[in-house]
Structures are given as C-alpha cells and as structure tokens.
Amino acid sequence: MFERIKQMIIKEFIQVFRDRRMIAIVFLTPIMQLLAFGYAVTTDVNNISTAIYDLDKSYESRELVRRLKSSGYFDIRYVAQSPDEIRELLDRGKIATALQIDRGFSSDLKNRRQTEVQILVDGTDSNTATVAMDYANRVIIKYTKDMERQRVEPVRIDLRTRAWYNPDLRSKNYNVPGVIAIVIMLTCLLLTSMAVVREREIGTMEQLMVTPLKPIELMLGKTIPFAIIGFFDVFLVTMVGIFWFDIPIKGPIQLMPLATAIYLFSVLGIGLFISTISRTQQQAMMATFLFYIPAVLLSGFMFPIENMPEIIQYGTYINPLRYFLIIIRGIFLKGNGLDILWPQMGSLFVLGVVVIAISALRFRKRIS
C-alpha cells in the first residue's frame, strides 16, 4: 500500500514540475500575492467592538460613554470591571477598542483641572486601530467643546492612546500573515482540482483504475504532494514576510505546522470535491475561482466581518479561511498560543473532517 502511494506521489511531483504553468503557480503566485497585499490600501470601518472601564461612574463619564455609543462608530459590548478583564477581551479578540475613565474624571472637570481618558486599541488590524482612535478623538474633542460652552474656563482632557500587539500600526503586519492563508488556499485548490481532472481529460484515469490502486490510495496519492507544496509555500511566504517586510512573530512558531495541517485538511478536501464536479481543467479552474473569491471576501481578510449583514456573518462560519486568519494573525502579532486559539483550531478541524468526508465519498463514487 505504502509503496503504491509513494509511486503516485512521485508521479504527481513529476507531472507538476514538468508543466511550466504549474511551476509559476507554485513559486511565483505566492510572491506576487505577498507583494500586492503587503502594500495594499486598507478601508474604513464601523461598528467597532468596544469595552468600557469606567472607574468614575459619574454623570460626566456616563455622558462621554453615551456620546461614544451614539456616534455610530462604536459597539459597546462589554462593561469591564478590571484591567485584567480588558486584557482578556483583547487577547481573545472579542473587542477591538477599550475606553478607560479613571477616578476623579468628574471632579477634575468641575474644578477645571486637566483630566485623563485612555483608549486601548487592538493594533493587530492597524487600519481598524487607526480609525478607532480617530473616531474616539473626534467624540472626545466634541464633548470637550460642549463642556467649554457651559463654563468660563476651558476644559482640558488629556487623551492617551495605546495600541496593543502592533504598536506602529503597520498595515503590512496585518496583511502579510493573511497572505499566507490565501496563498495556501489558492495554490492547493488549483493543484488538487486540476490534477484529478487532468487525469480524466487525457484518458489516464482509466489506466489508473485498472491498476491495483485502491480509491483511498489514489486519493492520498493525489493530495499528499499538494499538501507538501502547501507547507513549502507557508515557509516561503513566511521567510519573505520576516526578512523583506520585517513582520514580527510574537507567538509560538511551532504551532504553525499543526495549524497549517488542519487548514490543509479542509482546503484539499474542497479541491477534491471540485475535481468530482468538473469534467475539464477549464471547468475546474472556473469552479475554483468561484469558490476562492467569495471565500476571501467573506473571511475578514479585506473587510471586517462585523460590518457585513448578519445573515452573511453566519455564512462565514463555514469558511475555513476565516478561522485560519485568526490563528495565523494571533501567532504572528498577538503571541497567542493553543490556550487562546483552540476554539478556532477545533472549529477548523471539525469543518475539515466534514469536508474531507463528503469529498472522499464523492471521489470514491466518481472513480468507481
């Protein structure tokens, strides 16, 4: 069994590297996407998930929170009771912004003393962090001006902001790790779907079917080479990201192979499924891009999922790219480990099992 699978793997590698177009897909596409998205322009956001930590609990502090909420930019989801709770919410990605109002805020305003308000932002997504701080500044400046109209002396608020995880708010730090995820998806989908269809199109599938190969051996022989190529692309893009774009790696890099393997589990399954519904390589390529483009758009890579209609948000839960983006950005920028990322990895594993099971059953049925 293992010898037959080994020969199938060798055959697939020979077939891939014999075709110059395939070599371009494997080696050039990851670099091109990395350069393109590494310098991509980001977009504005709204409905920023926010937590409030109000130590003053006065009319003035509540009024500031009310204005923040009524601005339409911030979605107040949590009222924190301690700094540790804010840290936990930021670590788990449940909020993007936190507003802390210290004790004495009201008395400082009434006594015309300078007071302080702190905004904490998740700098993993530098665009969202920058926009959040700008929106908060606008709300607080407007609040200050309104207070000044009611008093003879000017009101001074010392606003201090702090970006977590991505202090420089570099968009490259956010985009480049995401490129790893989309490169793996595109490369593995194309290679897997077209390889199976190519056998059928040129008439060699019938030859394989009369060999001692079992369906499971044929499926493994078709998918393992592309899994190896997927791991190679992860290494390639990661090295370019580190040494060219100077992307930091804060978390346990040893978690990357496990996360990548789970991700490939579902992506290769989708590619296998596409191969069973396509008769020609052109159909396989079209089907691949019909799946790939919506998957990228609905993953949170370019547009925040929170800004999408609610029914679309539910649909993103069956998108493997959504989970892997959270995992890889958590490892690179937040320093998250398995204790934080296990829900995403677990969901991705379950999704992969379902996808690969459906694809394997259809593959077996198709070649029988």
- Residue 9: domain span: 2-39+170-367
Q: What pLDDT shows up at residue 39?
A: 61
Q: What is the CATH number of the domain that holds 108?
A: 3.40.1710.10
Q: Which residues pair with 53 in a beta bridge?
A: 100
Count Cβ atoms below 10 Å from residue 160 Cβ, excluding itself. Answer: 10
User: Rounded mean pLDDT of the chain?
Assistant: 81
Chosen domain end from 126, 141, 164: 164
Q: Which residues pair with 52 in a beta bridge?
A: 79, 99
Per-residue model confidence (pLDDT) at position 203: 63
Indicate whether 318 and 203 sit together in one domain.
Answer: yes
Which residue, of 164, 179, 213, is where some domain finishes?
164
Give the global pTM: 0.68
pLDDT the model gives residue 303:
78
pLDDT for 220 equals 77
**Helical segments of 244-319, H only:** 255-276, 281-297, 310-315
Residue 343 confidence (pLDDT): 92
Q: What is the pLDDT of residue 210?
A: 57
Q: What's the pLDDT at 41?
A: 47
Place of tokens 């009201």: 106
pLDDT of residue 348: 93
Of 164, 197, 231, the residue that ends a domain is 164
| Strand positions, DSSP E, the chain | 48-54, 74-79, 97-101, 115-122, 157-164
Residue ranges for the chain with pLDDT beneath 70: 1-4, 7-8, 12, 15-16, 19, 22, 25, 33, 36-45, 148-161, 168-170, 202-215, 364-368
If asked whether residues 158 and 177 sit together in one domain, one would say no
Q: Judge if 221 and 336 occupy the same domain.
A: yes
